[in-house]
Structure 1
């Protein structure tokens, strides 16, 4: 065992993937952990002449390491300072992960620059649009996996014989069949071409957790804001998508499907704008009031398991606008917000109903604006389940 191997075991505890997550499902390894393991194994052969079946990967929490099996590691030519390749099986645990079962590989060779350089191998994409965590033209290898791999290089250099070359390395990271796998992801929409992304902020895949979903929303928000966008639209679902495309004329990348994560999306927006030191002229919210009106009750995660339905909000504002008490009670007791809409239609005064919905839109906009002060104006448009506009 070389000194670089003893260090993580002595300083950190092992993260045991056999211990199930709280929901009873199995955790897995991120593509970032797999790539780091492959780099480590390749360096072990290149620098120490050791073919290993398992390596330890230090996790970003500075507290744990992960044992990762190596499928195979071999020299790709006969030269002592030549190219070495290592392969790792991506195990996403019980999480529905498009890269589960894929082979992540690293091809490592020395370079004369003294620097660690990242190269997109076959099946790993390249960024072509601004707003991602990596610059345009760079391999789609996110910052945390890059940091993990740089740390792996530093650890393997400890005690190695560097007389025959500088401490620089080219790390070519790839994924077998990654081009096909990427079609199942949002990479093509995000402007990542040629394959998958090497991702992960913790090194561990939490099964069926919302963390990956929320992280992807942050990426979509940043891509939407990139390039000095003067307006973007947040859509909780498919409702409002046609409005963003056909009425607002926004390109697809400027319309973000935020699901139930309105609060997170707004926070991501504020952070990104602050980092860029600029303001966003207008943020559009387009969707069903069953989701968006919940913010008027202080609800920012609109999933039904996290909040009550929004009929009470509609009823409360209807009361404030002078609707009869009996009708207000019917609205509050409706089974769904859609049913409340139908009840309002039965009143036979569409102009009054439109005014109610416009009032709700304006209140939502004001509430949301308080969470994103870097946005000049928030515009809200509400629609029924058929995509019909509720306001005037």
Structure 2
């Protein structure tokens, strides 16, 4: 009996494009629309996307809604509504502008793209909407073919739940605030969070270890040392800190199986590098870090605050914060106002617990001693803490 393969889905840009197509088609045809065809560009194929609702909201403006379907990914955007508002202008009309975005994207002379509510803003780009190249290309290619030469449109993409969902991501650590990004280089959302994809990560780990053993890197790090990066964000930041890509392994959320496989393959030193809201779960013995399986961040953080002696009113404040970042900011504010060093003490305790529990986890599974260190960073790409073992391992990296 064989298991079904994980089902792939589509990335957010595809649903944004589908909504925009539906809104434009409604303006031109004034007919009910239940689905539209989207040219994905990458890959080179056309697919049909269901339209949940479409309606005119004025003589020259229409709004259409799709629902995100990332396939078998454990993705926070699953079923989130994706809106597109399209305003149609004739050549003689003055094209309007929107207060929703101070920096629109003029895709072509005929198409202006705006980021509305729930679309993140890129801090380093003066607040420009976080609508990246593939999404812009997808919208341009699919909409331009529907326009006659004298027609112009303004397209506003809206993610009504985007601001709320963004609080559950590390977007702000990488310069995107107030919402989600229309990110990606392909239409297909591969089920990298589904359990069927774990084998791919494990095989990549085996190949990385094999390459190190066959081609040791001069002059300093031993072949038995790798850096585990939690997702693309950790991978990107580790490289910017100067750690060789040959030493980096992307783990996604499967920390437990990846740690055990590394020990099984003979790795004896592992540096965990990641966003604090993810890695602190290991301090509580949670070795699959996706929030669908378990969270516990506030409980873990509060427990370590209690361990190092925070007063009860502060513990209550920490526990009541909505996110781990909010709790960290509360402690930082307190330290700044009172000259204390609670953040340092609390996060040193957490980092030590991450190391200890990771090493114990590996030993309990395969009876192998593996030295594990950890480095945790915050949303501003600033390192919060390096464990003692983490400092030692980082110093070995060229």
Q: What TM-score do the two structures reach when normalised by structure 2?
A: 0.49
Distance (Å, rounded) in 2 between the aligned partners of 1:34 and 1:188 = 23
Distance (Å, rounded) in 2 between the aligned partners of 1:182 and 1:336 = 38
The answer as to whether partners of 2:74 and 2:193 remain within 8 angstroms in 1 is no
Name the SS for the 2:158 alignment partner. strand
Matched, 1:70 2:27: no
- 2:120 is aligned to 125
The answer as to whether partners of 2:269 and 2:371 remain within 8 angstroms in 1 is no
- 1:308 is aligned to 265
CA separation of 1:335 and 1:83: change in aligned 2, threshold 3 A: same
CA separation of 1:96 and 1:155: change in aligned 2, threshold 3 A: same
The answer as to whether partners of 1:41 and 1:51 remain within 8 angstroms in 2 is no
The answer as to whether partners of 1:44 and 1:51 remain within 8 angstroms in 2 is no
Name the SS for the 1:201 alignment partner. coil
**Superposition deviation, residue 301 in structure 1:** 6.5
**Superposition deviation, residue 67 in structure 1:** 1.1
- 1:336 is aligned to 369
CA separation of 1:336 and 1:104: change in aligned 2, threshold 3 A: same
**Superposition deviation, residue 34 in structure 1:** 0.3
**Superposition deviation, residue 201 in structure 1:** 1.8
1:150-169 matches, within 5 Å, as 150-157=140-147, 160=148, 166-169=150-153
Name the SS for the 2:128 alignment partner. coil
Distance (Å, rounded) in 2 between the aligned partners of 1:48 and 1:201 = 32
CA separation of 1:67 and 1:264: change in aligned 2, threshold 3 A: same
- 1:45 is aligned to 26
**Superposition deviation, residue 384 in structure 1:** 5.5
Could you tell me which of 123, 134, 138 is aligned with 1:144?
A: 134
CA displacement 1:209-261 (0-9 Å, x = unmatched): 699xx9xxxxxxxxxxxxxxxxxxxx946xxxxxxxxxxxxxxxxxxxx3488
- Unpaired runs of 5+ in structure 1? 1-21, 130-134, 215-234, 238-257, 270-279, 286-291, 314-332, 342-381
CA separation of 1:154 and 1:260: change in aligned 2, threshold 3 A: closer
**Superposition deviation, residue 180 in structure 1:** 0.5
Matched, 1:175 2:159: yes
- 1:283 is aligned to 242
- Unpaired runs of 5+ in structure 2? 96-108, 202-225, 252-257, 271-365, 374-385
**Superposition deviation, residue 122 in structure 1:** 1.4
The answer as to whether partners of 1:88 and 1:104 remain within 8 angstroms in 2 is yes
The answer as to whether partners of 1:104 and 1:175 remain within 8 angstroms in 2 is yes
Distance (Å, rounded) in 2 between the aligned partners of 1:74 and 1:38 = 11
The answer as to whether partners of 1:39 and 1:108 remain within 8 angstroms in 2 is yes
1:115-264 matches, within 5 Å, as 115-129=110-124, 135-157=125-147, 160=148, 166-208=150-192, 236=227, 258-259=229-230
- 1:91 is aligned to 69
CA separation of 1:262 and 1:155: change in aligned 2, threshold 3 A: closer
- 2:12 is aligned to 31
Distance (Å, rounded) in 2 between the aligned partners of 1:49 and 1:97 = 34
Matched, 1:108 2:103: no
CA displacement 1:352-389 (0-9 Å, x = unmatched): xxxxxxxxxxxxxxxxxxxxxxxxxxxxxx9665x564
Q: What TM-score do the two structures reach when normalised by structure 1?
A: 0.50
**Superposition deviation, residue 58 in structure 1:** 0.8
Name the SS for the 1:109 alignment partner. strand
CA displacement 1:287-337 (0-9 Å, x = unmatched): xxxxx9x95xxx867855478233499xxxxxxxxxxxxxxxxxxx99223
Name the SS for the 2:146 alignment partner. helix
**Superposition deviation, residue 118 in structure 1:** 1.5
The answer as to whether partners of 1:124 and 1:196 remain within 8 angstroms in 2 is yes
Distance (Å, rounded) in 2 between the aligned partners of 1:23 and 1:265 = 33
**Superposition deviation, residue 192 in structure 1:** 1.8
- CA RMSD, Structure 1 to Structure 2 (Å): 4.1
Larger Cα Rg: Structure 1 or Structure 2?
A: 1
**Superposition deviation, residue 76 in structure 1:** 0.6
- Between Structure 1 and Structure 2, how many residues are aligned? 233
**Superposition deviation, residue 146 in structure 1:** 0.8
The answer as to whether partners of 1:338 and 1:384 remain within 8 angstroms in 2 is no
